[in-house]
Amino acid sequence: MTTIAEALNAAAQRAAAAPRRVFRLPLTPRLLSLFGVVLLTAVTGLMLGFAALAFAMQWALGLFVLACAGFMGALTGYVWRDLRGKWGLRVVLDADTVTLDLPANRSLIHRPPAQHLTIRYADIAALDARFEAYGSLGMKIMQRTYVLHRGSGELIFLFEERALATGMASSYFTDIVADLTTRAGIQLHELGTVEGTGGVLAVWGTQAPDWAAPALPRERANRLWRQAASTGSLTIAVFLIVILVMRYFGTG
């Protein structure tokens, strides 16, 4: 029968044998976020210019265009947060420790503080994961979040996968989480599916459930997953329709 000390020793030997690993998000999603910020900033500036011209013609039209510019400006801030979170995130796995460089904007729904710390594997008590559903305007999104528990009881929000159950689902952190649990000699605890508040378009006014919230019944969770898949299909369909309309009017 394997004792706890033997299990910890075996985990330490596996970690020592593994090479140093530095993880960052791939360059492509980071550049896409950067492009989104630049594009939205340009569009917001143009709309502000149009608003100034519209006020000269009719104040009601000017107010409408100004409101649209304000919406685009708020959306620009949202994408800027995403860019900062993607660009600053870094995880380094060494023989005995993990170094976490976690920017404050690594989550678009949770509000974790920025953290830069080095933790010994022996100080990692657990690593949890759960699925989170958020609804807005009849639509649902599903994401997967990871949290690390230190032996002192401190809880550290790590990161999240987004757009699950759709063709745009991310899986950037699956491998690094598996490597971390192996080196720390622990297992990933699956906490099931929970539901939070989606606010407006899951962008403004969102509220994440407490980490101690119980998992939803299977029937409710399955229904949320189906709704998230339907939302993803609808988003892709709308995107394709917009492209077709733009091509039609561009070549007509």
- The 10s digit of each residue's pLDDT in 34-55 is 999 999 999 999 999 988 888 8
Give yes or no for residue 77 having a pLDDT over 80: yes
Look at residues 185, 179, 181 and name the one whose alpha carbon lies nearest to residue 18: 179
Predicted confidence (pLDDT) per residue in 78-107, tens digit? 899 999 999 999 999 999 999 999 999 999
Q: What is the mean pLDDT of residues 25-33?
A: 93
Q: What's the mean per-residue pLDDT of the chain?
A: 85
What is the domain partition of the chain in residue ranges? 121-251
Work out the pLDDT band at 16, boundaries 50, 70, 90.
Answer: low
CB 200 within 8 A of CB 136: yes
Question: How many whole angstroms from its chain centre is CA 186?
Answer: 24
Q: What percent of the chain has pLDDT over 90?
A: 59
Tell me the per-residue pLDDT of 118-163, one tens digit each, with 9 for 90 and over: 999 999 999 999 999 998 887 889 999 999 999 999 999 999 999 9
Strands (E), the chain: 21-23, 90-93, 97-102, 115-120, 124-136, 139-150, 155-161, 188-197
Note if the pTM is more than 0.85: no
pLDDT (0 to 100) of residue 60: 86
Look at residue 231 in the predicted model and tell me its pLDDT: 81
pLDDT category at 216 given cuts 50, 70, 90 is very high
* pLDDT for the residue 17: 61
The arithmetic mean of pLDDT across residues 196-203, rounded, is 82
- Give dist(CA 131, CA 235) in Å, integer: 21
